Amino acid sequence: MKKLPILLGLLLSVFLAFAQPTEKQIKVQVSADHPDWLYKPGEKVTFSVLVSKNGSPIPQAKVRYEIGPEKQESWKKDTQILANGSLQLDGGTLSGAGFLRCIVIAEVDGKEYRNLATVGFSPNLLQATVANPSDFDTFWDKAKQDLAKIPLDAKMTLMPERCTEKTNVYHVNIQNYRIGARLYGILCVPKKPGKYPALLHVPGAGVRPYVGDIANAEKGIITLQIGIHGIPVNLDPSVYTDLGAGILNGYPTYNMDDKDRFFYKRVYVGCVRANDFLTSLPQFDGQNLAVTGGSQGGALSIVTAALDNRVKFLGAYYPALSDVTGYLYNRAGGWPHYFDKNGRAVNETKTKLETIAYFDVVNFARRLKVPGFYSWGFNDETCPPTSMYAAYNVISAPKELYLALDTGHWNYPEQVEKMTNWLTNNLIK
């Protein structure tokens, strides 16, 4: 029982990584005059601002605001005193497909409160900017062939303190892209004898421990939640804090000038290796395998489903690493923003541009053949909707997009419920 508080703390830390922001007594509401926040190019948008406390407008509230294309320089900035706590703003328009953002910061009693609204102009017409290498498939076929030569060498350690009446929980590690390189995760397997579908959880960015998906295992699904850094995922949280601030700080850029040594190559093949392990389990039903994740994990969900034909379904929240070259074409690019104003001078080189084309989610999305469920919001400042639509629009496989317009880089419970139901309904038939 002594370990229960630790477990609950880990669960909380994982949840909060993409959890809804904490509610505040003073609220800044920013909305658009179209309820779906969608416009045609050339159509003008009006933004509405309301600053309130306990649901009532705050008179004489001071706000400053800026309006412009997302992740680009704002074309309109101003400061105003709101006599009645509300304001109507002429947001202008865009001449082509894209997203326009209004950011508002209110000052009340010496504290600042921020919110935003982002509207889309024909986002279904956004086209990808990233190059599509002619030898893309050859490169990844070779990577998978090389991986297949590496023995799995799987090791499973039962974690009795995490097991439940219905589920066994294991800390697992398997050999990844070369001899001696390991991939770690938390495996949850139903105790009742039988054959079960499997669900792979791929992680968002960062360095952290994992606790496993016991909830879906209790429903009759084998679940595996993996880390990507080649270190055990059941250590004290302080270990990951130290690594994230130390040697793993900035990992998304490691060896970016060499496509064979780029950090994400071992990550992408590692996701395939995780499926090698899942499909080797005697409890696997031999057919039903899905992958899911958010942000970096949303990217990895698409990548894994494109690389591995054993995957039958995918669920992705706000996929990162999508059309990262957008900034080179005067629009938003995907996380980790290699080519924004802070990274462009360092990363805009011939070799790095060539490398990133083999890893951009757009080029995996082009190759998807299985149904997918996707969800994001227009206010995401980490994974810009421009970049996500650039990937989504090239998908020819069956796809469904659930929008929660005002969300940023987080989910409402309704989004999670819809995603979970979609995955479990497809896996458990």
Question: For residue 371, what are its two tokens?
Answer: 């149904």
Contact 99, 32 (CB under 8 A): no
- Phi first, then psi, for residue 301 (nearest 5°) are -65, -45
295 catalytic, yes or no? yes
Instruction: Choose, from 213, 276, 323, 380, the residue flagged as catalytic.
Output: 380
**Long-range interactions of 168-171: CB distance < 8 A, separation 24+:** 169/212, 169/214, 171/232, 171/233, 171/234
Instruction: Choose, from 171, 213, 229, 295, the residue flagged as catalytic.
Output: 295
CA distance 107 to 130: 41
CA distance 282 to 225: 18
Return the beta strands (E) in 211-341 as ranges.
Answer: 222-226, 284-294, 313-317
Instruction: Choose, from 201, 229, 337, 409, the residue flagged as catalytic.
Output: 409
The CB density around residue 317, as the number of other CB atoms within 10 Å, is 30
Nearest to 361 by CA among 381, 331, 336, 339: 336
What Å distances lie between residue 30 and 27, 85, 127, CA to CA? 10, 12, 28
What DSSP assignment string belongs to 30-53? Answer: EEESSTT-EE-TT--EEEEEEEEE
380 catalytic, yes or no? yes
CA distance 88 to 66: 13
Q: What is the DSSP letter of 408?
A: -
Q: What is the DSSP letter of 420?
A: H
249's CB contacts (< 8 A; 6+ apart) are none
409 catalytic, yes or no? yes
Question: For residue 216, what are its two tokens?
Answer: 């879906």
Catalytic machinery residues = 295, 380, 409
